[in-house]
Amino acid sequence: MEPVVRAEAVVKRWGATPVLSGASFTVGRGVTGLLGANGAGKTTLLGLLLGLHRPDSGTVRVLGGDPWTSGPDVRTRIGYAPEYDALPPDVGAADVVRHIAELHGLPRREATGRASDTLWEVGLGEERFRPVGTMSTGQRQRVKLAQAIVHDPDLVLLDEPTNGLDPAQREGMLELIRHVGHELGMDVILSSHLLEEVERVSDAVVILDAGVVVAGGELRELRGGTDELVVEVDGGEEQSNRLLAGLAAVGVGAHGIGPGRVLVTLAGPDVLDLVRDVLADAGMGVRRLQPRTASLEEIYLEAADRGVAAR
Amino acid sequence: MTDARILGTGYRVYDGPRLGPRHAVWTLTRHTFERIMGLKRPARYKVLPILTLVIAYLPAVAFIGAIALVPSRRLGSFVPDPGQYFAFVTAALMLFAALAAPEALCPDKRSHFLGLYMASPLTRTTYLLAKIGAVASAVVLVTMGPPLLLLAGEALQNEGPRGFSQFMNMLSQTVIAGAVLAVMFTALSLVIPSLTDRRGFASAGAVLVLIGSAAISRILAFQLRLGDGWLLIGLQRLPFEVVSRIFDRSGLGTPSGTPLPTAAVAGSAIAFTLVAGLVTWWRVVRATVTR
């Protein structure tokens, strides 16, 4: 099956400044986080996916087409919410969203109906006739999301969609993005420099560092398994200290990571049996017993370190 | 019991027709035209377009009224023909062009909505074509509408051109002149807005260029006597020199008393229109939408 996006050895410079230096990656179905520090090349990459810029070298395929040579056809099937404030302040939200729907080929009557439905979907049903300039930052971000999905695109590109939002608004926006990607059936590329929000909504990530893709793939695979085991028991710190003492007595390395929580080093094949025996002998109630997976932060930092070392 | 049901439709998959890039161009043209005319916008946005249209159409209505009420032998040459009527719409035309073009281009850049247009099936070239179409459609309301109204009013009261062939000749000249004026003023008025995202600056700049070039050309030609050719840089005068040629007239007065050569007038008009169009196109193509 053709990936949603395929980029191979993409190079893009602005003047003498290299922005992308041979980026290669694929994006599959679902929500994919495009992660990188500010200036890593995320927005330029989205511009390339939209066919707004031509790569200096390398190839980009989006939904099976070349966005530079088949721009209008590819863009018909894409929704885009830019990072910056891009909505005319003196126009009502419903008019903006309807206009974008018509631009993407929907007949006027359909566009009008869907603009209204979409604004309801993002929680702005009652506010849909208000001029965008009178809306709060959170509401404007929702209008941007609505105009990106109103024409039922195959792919939605969201550039820093939580910029300027307070924690409650950010929570709501992330929930909406998850809803779009997992329930409305659109594939989403979420560009962000915030690890936590990418980790919360994404199925896969592409990590950019200084114009190079330093890691990419399904988040589940990237996290993988580590050689550590998280054990959580009933009873708080007292019980975790008992557990640590029991493990030390049988020669298993471990340390506490919080009240009732212990991180065990899986140094050999018999360690799991030893942990089980210590827990059983002590008569402790076990809440959690699972291999520790890497957080996105660890993946990111490790990938960034690899990128620095390679340069 | 009734059969009534509440249907919560919510967001639905769209499986209807998708009308393609040509529809996008038409959509943007219509949207921009509505914006220029203040349609579907609060009343304050409608004042200037309506005022301009009134300035353009009022003389035509007044002349038609005069024809209806006053015997033609007493009117004499009081009522202009459509070719002469263009002199009455000069102010309205300049005002309209200076308002319409900035309204078409500047807000997209200022609000960064241009980025969303470029993320749609539009390209930079089709975006500009749609904007040109909208501005030209608005300007043609002033350049073609009033003279046609006057011609129709005269014809209905058995005045104006005598005979069918003369009427058709006058009609075609009026349409061509209106179209040529619309093209020229559209091209000239779009240049300044392509250089700035501020509507006020763009409108003031457009008026300054039109009036300033006229003043400079008159000083060079009439005061300093540097030659009649300098009149061709007067952007207020040039379009009406072209209109005179379309109506088989010799044109406006010159210091030497010799009319400007038709070839020079046509060449100058084409050159200014092309240069203005190219500068606007270059600015739109080079506009930064996202990095």
Q: Whole-model pTM?
A: 0.84
Output B79 or A226, whichever has higher pLDDT.
B79
Tell me the chain A residues in contact with residue B106 when contact means C-beta distances shorter than 8 Å: none
- Asked if B115's CB is within 8 angstroms of A104's CB, the reply is no
Mean pLDDT across the stretch B101-108?
A: 92
* Summary mean pLDDT of chain A: 89
Q: Provide the pLDDT for residue A5.
A: 95
Q: The tokens of A242 are what?
A: 């008992």
Minimum-distance CB partner of B112 among A86, A100, A110: A86
d(CA A63, CA A4): 5
Minimum-distance CB partner of B116 among A72, A86, A149: A86
Q: Is the Cβ of B129 closer than 8 Å to some Cβ of chain A?
A: no
Q: Is the Cβ of A221 closer than 8 Å to some Cβ of chain B?
A: no
Residue B97 CB partners (closer than 8 Å, separation 6+): B135, B139, B185, B186, B188, B189, B206, B210
What confidence tier does A307 reach under pLDDT thresholds 50, 70, 90? low
Q: Provide the pLDDT for residue B113.
A: 92
Output B5 or B199, whichever has higher pLDDT.
B199
Q: The tokens of B274 are what?
A: 């092309």
Q: Provide the pLDDT for residue B106.
A: 93
- Asked if A75's CB is within 8 angstroms of B119's CB, the reply is yes
Q: Provide the pLDDT for residue A257.
A: 85
Minimum-distance CB partner of A121 among B11, B41, B121: B11
What confidence tier does B162 reach under pLDDT thresholds 50, 70, 90? confident
Question: Which of B14, B25, B18, B117 is CA-nearest to residue A114?
Answer: B14
- Asked if A50's CB is within 8 angstroms of B24's CB, the reply is no
Interface of B with A in 49-108 (CB under 8 A): 107
Mean pLDDT across the stretch B108-124?
A: 93
Number of Cβ pairs < 8 A linking chain A and chain B:
111
Q: Is A297 exposed, middle or buried (CB count within 10 Å of its CB: 0-12, 13-18, 19+)? A: exposed
Q: The tokens of B179 are what?
A: 């179209």
Tell me the chain A residues in contact with residue B18 when contact means C-beta distances shorter than 8 Å: 76, 104-106, 151
Is the pLDDT score of A310 beyond 70? no
Is the pLDDT score of A108 beyond 90? yes
- Asked if B31's CB is within 8 angstroms of A99's CB, the reply is yes
Tell me the chain A residues in contact with residue B27 when contact means C-beta distances shorter than 8 Å: 99, 102-103
The nearest CA of chain B is from the CA of A254 a distance in Å of 49
Q: Provide the pLDDT for residue A51.
A: 94
Q: Is the Cβ of A184 closer than 8 Å to some Cβ of chain B?
A: yes
Q: The tokens of A225 are what?
A: 């398994």
Q: Is the Cβ of B119 closer than 8 Å to some Cβ of chain A?
A: yes
Q: Is the Cβ of A90 closer than 8 Å to some Cβ of chain B?
A: yes
Q: Provide the pLDDT for residue B207.
A: 86
- Asked if A90's CB is within 8 angstroms of B41's CB, the reply is yes
Tell me the chain A residues in contact with residue B7 when contact means C-beta distances shorter than 8 Å: none
- Asked if A103's CB is within 8 angstroms of B120's CB, the reply is yes
Is the pLDDT score of B236 beyond 90? no
- Asked if A106's CB is within 8 angstroms of B19's CB, the reply is yes
Q: Provide the pLDDT for residue B206.
A: 86
DSSP type of residue B40: T
Is the pLDDT score of B5 beyond 70? no
Q: Provide the pLDDT for residue A10.
A: 94
What backbone phi and psi angles, to 5 degrees, belong to A223?
Answer: -65, -40
Instruction: Please give the share of chain B, as a percent, with pLDDT higher than 70.
Output: 95
Tell me the chain A residues in contact with residue B119 when contact means C-beta distances shorter than 8 Å: 50, 52, 75, 78, 80, 82
d(CA B83, CA B93): 15
Mean pLDDT across the stretch A93-118?
A: 95
Enclosing H/E stretch for A66: none
d(CA B210, CA B185): 10
d(CA B60, CA B65): 9
- Asked if B113's CB is within 8 angstroms of A86's CB, the reply is yes
Enclosing H/E stretch for A62: strand A57-62
Tell me the chain A residues in contact with residue B120 when contact means C-beta distances shorter than 8 Å: 75, 100, 103-104
Is the pLDDT score of A189 beyond 80? yes
A125, closest residue in chain B (CA to CA): B10
- State pLDDT tens for residues A226-257: 678 889 998 888 888 999 999 999 999 998 88
Q: Provide the pLDDT for residue A161.
A: 92
Q: Is the Cβ of B113 closer than 8 Å to some Cβ of chain A?
A: yes
Is the pLDDT score of A305 beyond 90? no
What confidence tier does A80 reach under pLDDT thresholds 50, 70, 90? very high
Interface of B with A in 2-21 (CB under 8 A): 9-14, 16-21
Q: Is the Cβ of A190 closer than 8 Å to some Cβ of chain B?
A: no
A52, closest residue in chain B (CA to CA): B118
DSSP string, B163-195: SHHHHHHHHHHHHHHHHHHHHHHHHHHHHHHHH
d(CA A213, CA A5): 14
Is the pLDDT score of B74 beyond 90? no
Q: Do the Cβ atoms of A70 and A63 come closer than 8 Å?
A: no
